[in-house]
Structure 1
Amino acid sequence: MQEFSKIQELYLKLSIIVPIYNHWHLVPNLISHLKLQTLKKDDYELLLIDNASEKVPDTLSLPEFAKLLHCKTPGSYAARNAGIEKALGKILVFTDADCRPHPDWLTQGLRCLQEVNTTKVIIAGAIQIIPANDHANIYELYDMTLGMPQERYVLRGYGITANLFVPRAVVDKVGLFDQKRFSGGDADYCRRAGQLGIAIRYCAKALVTHPARNSWHALANKVRRVKGGQLTAGTNSRKMLFAVRAFLPPIHAWRHTLVEKRLASRQRVAICMLQTKLWLVEMHEVIRLMCGRPPMR
């Protein structure tokens, strides 16, 4: 553990980087959860990057460990890049305004870094999707079943920025996010890191919760954003792959849903039907983008 003890001496702070686009009403709850962290407050900072919101609250009150930054370039990855450039931490921690970190989130993330004993790694923390109450509707059940399977993402070689720990040494080697993307910039970043020999590890104990999407509008918009991120950036061959894949039936999602033991039979069928409707949205979005329309932010 000698290498990590040297790392700890350098890691005087973690920088938590959160892009904000209009969702300032979520920030007080995020801050209240960060105040409960078991890690000493002197060891981390919170950077809130306003991404050209229509309005930032005039009465915004931030704790001492938080800073407000501004990024006029549209897109959450552009905002995250702005945060990276101002961050003081040797570990950059990414999450979103609507996430709720557990009290030992930062401590467990650091512990996972200690266990791998290197800075040449990205840690992807767990994301638990939770409904608004005990009576989840079909949209919430869908999101809880298929929404953010971080552990499965890691098996595919990436993690998402709802819960990601990235040592500064990784950023120095890989560079910044692709700010042209409105979606999928995290997967692209992790894959670029992988090509440079940087591993990604899943950390189940570094946990944040995320509210389940509870409407058709929310789920359909996510599908459109994801497809926009896939088809408007990256190599032409990869964009073609994503375009073709959009027209293939979502067999993996159906299969995963049908074997989900926490669901009743009728819920499995309903989620598969909902997935089919979202597949139609996905195909329509591909056609729209191929006709030259702009991606959804």
Structure 2
Amino acid sequence: MPPSSPLPDCSVIVPVYRQWDAVRPLLRALEAQSLGLGCFEVVLVDNAPAPCPPYPQADLDLRVIHCPRPGAYAARNAGLADAAAPVLAFTDADCRPGPDWLAEGLRVLNGGDPGPDLVAGAIALQPADPARPNLYEQFDLLTGMRQARYARRGYGATANLLVRRAVFEVVGPFDAGRYSGGDAEFCRRAVAAGHALHYAAGAVVAHPARDSWPALAAKARRVKGGQIVNGPYWRRALWLLRTLAPPVDHCARLLRHPRPPAAPARRLRLCGLRLGLWGVELAEVIRLSTGGRPRRG
């Protein structure tokens, strides 16, 4: 951006790890924002070991930087160091922000006296066919990305998170050593330092529902690494104890939940899927406790 140009109101930061085909529809969604295109910039962070041009183009204030250190949180830190605006908006390469995402997120961020310093926007999981989600998509719809619940607990997922730059200046950046859970850890630090976090139901970002066993298993391994390897000892011990216990409560909720089809066989298959993922989590705990390193994905 030329030195004489006015600063944007918001910088959108997106880590990209070999997902450039997914980035094109993301950029189209950003081009359709109701917030004026001159009010925000977009920083794409190429997180591959070596740069992967050619990069996509768009009718946006857009630039691509490279971050060779692996991990989405390391890439987000590189993006916020390069960004120019006083507000940083985070989303993912495979997400599709709604047209009022930035306008509504900034409205909530600037509302009140004082307003919040962090805004966690709504995340709408979307199956390929909303009328007929497959078993894996339905499981993800019921168990994944519950942003309103996260916000009540004092954090938000970086698939849809707006943060004032001043917060990073006070509490520091994301934990670049994490592959999972860095958003929750950062938000907890910020809230503990006195920065308010609000939920914005109208600032919506769509996220594809995971549609296969490999996708769900990869997420389970990545999340388990973030829980068991990082954070204070007491929290890691708590996650270990939770992992060792059979997920009876999760299965009970799946059986009682009003959204799955009424067919008992379908509900039982969802429970079987949860038990299978428990096995994946146990295997990952054993691997990590014998010297294995957390997985990126």
Please confirm whether the aligned pair reaches a TM-score higher than 0.5, indicating the same fold: yes
**RMSD across aligned C-alpha pairs, in angstroms?**
1.8
Q: CA deviation at 1:120?
A: 4.7
The answer to which of 113-122 and 237-246 deviates more is 113-122
For residue 238 of structure 1, the aligned residue among 215, 235, 239 is: 235
Q: State the Cα distance separating 1:53 from its structure 2 match.
A: 5.2
- The aligned amino acid for 2:258 is K
Q: Is 2:189 the partner of 1:183?
A: no
Match of 1:115, SS state, is coil
Specify every segment of 5 or more residues in structure 1 that has no aligned partner in the other structure, as ranges.
Answer: 1-9
**Aligned counterpart, 1:107:** 103
Q: Percent identity?
A: 46
The one of 64, 69, 72 aligned to 1:68: 64
Closer/same/farther in 2, CA of residues 11 and 91 from structure 1, 3 Å limit? farther
Supply the distance in 2 between the matched residues of 1:207 and 1:64 (Cα, whole angstroms): 20
Partners of 1:282 and 1:46 lie apart in 2 by: 36
Structure 1 segments, 4+ long, off by >6 Å, are: none
Matched-pair contact (CA < 8 Å) for 2:49–2:68? no
**TM-score, normalization by structure 2:** 0.92
Aligned-partner residue type, residue 65 of structure 1: D
Query: How many equivalent pairs are there?
Result: 288
8 Å CA contact retained: 2:44, 2:65: yes
Shift of the 116–227 alpha-carbon distance from structure 1 to 2, 3 Å rule, reads farther
1:86 deviates by 0.8
Query: Which residue number in structure 2 is paired with residue 15 of structure 1?
Result: 11
Contact 1:22-1:53 at 8 Å conserved across structures: no
Are positions 1:153 and 2:150 aligned together? yes
Residue 14 (structure 1) shift: 0.3
Amino acid at match of 1:202: Y
Q: CA, structure 1 residues 105+227, in 2 after alignment: closer, same or farther (shift >3 Å)? A: same
Q: Could you tell me how far 1:59 is from its partner in structure 2?
A: 5.7
TM-score under structure 1 length normalisation? 0.92
Aligned-pair distance for 1:32?
0.3
Residues 269-288 of structure 1 mapped to structure 2, 5 A cutoff: 269-288=268-287
What runs of 5+ residues in structure 2 fail to find an aligned partner? 1-5
- Report the AA paired with residue 23 of structure 1: Q
Q: Which residue of the other structure, out of 22, 25, 29, is the alignment partner of 2:21? A: 25
Structure 2 counterpart of 1:47: 43
> Match of 2:280, as an amino acid?
V
Contact persistence 2:155–2:184 (CA under 8 A) = yes
- Residue 79 of structure 1 aligns with an amino acid whose one-letter code is A
Deviations 1:99-120 (A, max 9, x none): 1000011111011113344355
Query: How far apart are the structure 1 equivalents of 2:255 and 2:198?
Result: 28
Residues 1:125 and 2:121 aligned together: yes
Residue aligning to 1:88: 84
> Counterpart of 1:70 in structure 2: which amino acid?
H
C-alpha distance in 2 between matches for 1:284 and 1:179: 25
Q: Is the contact made by 1:119 and 1:167 (CA closer than 8 Å) also made in structure 2?
A: no
Q: 1:117 to 1:256 in 2, by over 3 A?
A: farther
Question: Which is worse superposed, 86-95 or 191-200?
Answer: 191-200
1:54, distance to aligned residue in structure 2 (A): 6.3
Verify the 8 A CA contact 1:225 1:295 in the aligned structure 2: yes
Call closer, same or farther: CA 1:195–1:251 in 2, change over 3 Å.
Answer: farther
**What whole-Å deviation, never above 9, does each CA across 1:75-99 have from its counterpart, x for those lacking one?**
1000000001011111100000111
